[in-house]
Amino acid sequence: MKKNIFCLLSLFLAATSCIAVADESEATLEQQLERLSLPDNQALTLPGESEKLYSVQTRFSPLKYKQEVDFGVGRNFTGDSSIDSNEFYLGYRFHFSDKWNISLEGAAVFNSLSASTVRLMEKDAVVPDSTYTKYRAGLMVNYNLFYGKFRLGMDQVFYFDQYIGAGPGVVVMERGTQPAAILEAGFAFWLGKWGSIRLGLKDYVHSEQRRLSSGMANDLVAHLNMGFLFGGGKN
């Protein structure tokens, strides 16, 4: 009888010890998981190490050695008030890197008399002292200032570059051809790896010969272009 009681007591003590060990292991595992969990909006930092965090990821579609053909439309907002000018663009762009590219472009300009000028001519038979542009062309060096992205939903992300550019150009006008200096700023929105949409402002500074006078012109042209990418290395 005593022997049976001793056996039962031994089994009870062994079972209690196993449960205690299991509880201690479980508590240790929970503590380890708690140490691995991070509060929201905080990054993991390791003792004795410093980690650089970047707000923008690597470029989705590298541009190095890629070529781009684009076309689009523009409108002159600071030209002669007596003439409405709209433009059609065609251009070629070569990307030396993700930052630098060079572009060659031309534009055909379509002009018409503004409504106020037509009324003035019909009422008072007055012809304004003005001229108009027929064609534009330019060779631009462009630089991408920064690369970023924006999200329209949980599944769609669009990437863009803000860019600036400058270069020489020529302006073919009603009364001769004039050299021009061109400045540009805008955004390039990338359509996956195959194309882009560019929204920008070009400033053409040149001299012009009007009917009765001459002077400097500062044509600020807003444009919207669509481009197609090809060539370059494998992405």
Does residue 79 lie within any of the structural domains?
Answer: yes
Q: How confident is the model at residue 81 (pLDDT cuts 50, 70, 90)?
A: confident
Does residue 44 lie within any of the structural domains?
Answer: no
Does residue 190 lie within any of the structural domains?
Answer: yes
Does residue 3 lie within any of the structural domains?
Answer: no
Does residue 133 lie within any of the structural domains?
Answer: yes
Q: What is the pLDDT of residue 20?
A: 47
- Taking Cα atoms as reference points, which of 87, 91, 154, 83 lies closest to residue 115? 83
pLDDT, average across residues 44-51:
52
Three-state SS at 197: strand
Structurally, the chain folds into a number of domains equal to 1
Percentage, residues of the chain above pLDDT 70:
69
* Per-residue pLDDT reduced to its tens digit, 109-167: 999 887 767 776 667 666 676 788 999 999 999 999 999 887 776 667 778 999 999 99
- Give the domain range for residue 224: 66-231
Q: What is the pLDDT of residue 21?
A: 47
For residue 106, the cross-strand partners are 90, 137
CATH number at 223 reads 2.40.160.20
Going by C-beta distance under 8 Å and a sequence separation of 6 or more, which residues neighbour residue 229? 61, 63, 66, 67, 68, 193, 194, 195, 196
State phi, psi for 114 to the nearest 5 degrees. Answer: -70, 160
* Per-residue pLDDT reduced to its tens digit, 169-188: 999 998 889 999 999 999 99
Percentage, residues of the chain above pLDDT 90:
47
Does residue 19 lie within any of the structural domains?
Answer: no
* Per-residue pLDDT reduced to its tens digit, 5-43: 555 455 555 555 554 444 444 556 666 656 666 555 555
Q: What is the DSSP string of 98-153?
A: SSEEEEEEEEEEEEEE-HHHHHHHHHH----S---EEEEEEEEEEEEEEEEEEESS
Does residue 33 lie within any of the structural domains?
Answer: no
Does residue 18 lie within any of the structural domains?
Answer: no
